[in-house]
Amino acid sequence: MDDAKIGANLASSEARFAGKVAVVTGAAGGFGRAIARRLAGEGAAVALADIDSAKGKRTTAQLAKRGATALFKTVDVSRGDDLRRLMERTCGAFGGIDILVNNAGYCHRAKPLWELPEADYDRIFEVNVKSVYLGAVHGVPRLLERGGGVIVNTASIGAVRPRPRLTAYNASKGAVVTLTRGLATELAPHGIRVNAVNPVAADTDFMKGPSGGRPLGEKGREILEATIPLGRLAEPDDVAAAVAYLASDDASFLTGVCLDVDGGRSIG
Ligand SMILES: NC(=O)c1ccc[n+]([C@@H]2O[C@H](COP(=O)([O-])OP(=O)(O)OC[C@H]3O[C@@H](n4cnc5c(N)ncnc54)[C@H](O)[C@@H]3O)[C@@H](O)[C@H]2O)c1
């Protein structure tokens, strides 16, 4: 390959999302922030959405300062009206939507399933599962307007390799896996691919859910690391790289895939 061609390939791979518009939920911090940063870094205009307005605005301002085309909308992903307004705002600002990343989610306090309050069970399914349905209701028509697109959902390796005391959470992510695969069959004829990532544990604010507010800490980290064959937790950038791949044309023949981003946890 001559030098000019190598240069051209580099340029195109650096801007896989030039001209594309992405919506990322749960984008104020953790995986969502890394995903938004990665998609924006590769050329996408990005709408960040989160229930945490202050943090979401800060994150979006940081991205914009680095040159990203980005907006922020306060959204509770369990509410249809919020998602409708998010899609309207994004289309108004950027002209349409090509990529929808349903990433927002959280974990209840770690407890045996039979001791988990019913309200906690219901809320987990509203935020982690209903949000994917509502994302489809309000997002698919927008993707269709562009002649196709991509949906990427953040599930969890817990969907396929559950740990004890997180059963409702893991079941909610199992539902995300099945929603992903089912929706992929429905949308393939319309030129919309639907995939998911299954991350292993990462030291984000998410960890305060199972512990009842405490950060992970050194001891907790060591316990988790010992269960992951590659010997470390996931980093937000690991997840962002996988989401960017699934959202890109590099994965144009992949749909219904739930990609384990897990350092081998599922086989360890
Ligand atoms: N961190 C982990 O160990 C881990 C592992 C596997 C999967 N996940 C999943 O990854 C996703 C991102 O988690 P994270 O680790 O980045 O955690 P995080 O807490 O850093 O980020 C989650 C974001 O979602 C937002 N959010 C929560 N409820 C919301 C709602 N109702 N509406 C809108 N936004 C809401 C939060 O404000 C937060 O900014 C979640 O779906 C989580 O279940 C996390």
Ordered by start, the domain boundaries in the chain are 16-254
pLDDT reported for residue 1: 43
**Does 121 participate in catalysis according to the annotation?**
no
- Among 106, 121, 133, 169, the active-site one is 169
Q: Please provide residue 65's backbone torsions phi and psi, each rounded to the nearest 5 degrees.
A: -65, -30
Query: Which among 106, 153, 172, 233 is the best mutation to test ligand 1's pocket, defined by most ligand atoms within 8 Å of the CB?
Result: 106
Output the CA 106–ligand 1 centroid distance in Å: 5
pLDDT reported for residue 268: 87
Query: Which among 50, 130, 153, 179 is the best mutation to test ligand 1's pocket, defined by most ligand atoms within 8 Å of the CB?
Result: 50
Using CA atoms, how far apart are residues 117 and 140, in angstroms rounded to an integer? 34
> Length of the chain, please?
268
Q: Please provide residue 227's backbone torsions phi and psi, each rounded to the nearest 5 degrees.
A: -100, 5
Q: Whose CA is nearest to atom 5 of ligand 1?
A: 201
Contact (Cβ atoms closer than 8 angstroms) between residue 171 and residue 107: no
Output the CA 148–ligand 1 centroid distance in Å: 27
The burial of 109, by beta-carbon neighbours within 10 Å (0-12 exposed, 13-18 middle, 19 or more buried), is given as middle
Using CA atoms, how far apart are residues 193 and 189, in angstroms rounded to an integer? 9
pLDDT reported for residue 14: 62
pLDDT reported for residue 216: 94
Output the CA 161–ligand 1 centroid distance in Å: 19
Third-level CATH fold of 16-254? Rossmann fold (3.40.50)
pLDDT reported for residue 5: 47
Q: Chunked in runs of 10, what are the mean pLDDT values of the chain (268 residues)?
A: 45 79 99 98 98 98 98 99 98 98 98 98 98 99 98 98 98 99 98 99 97 95 98 98 98 98 96
Please tell me the pTM assigned to this model.
0.96
Half-sphere exposure of 84 (CA within 13 A, CB side): 4
3-state class (DSSP) for residue 7: helix
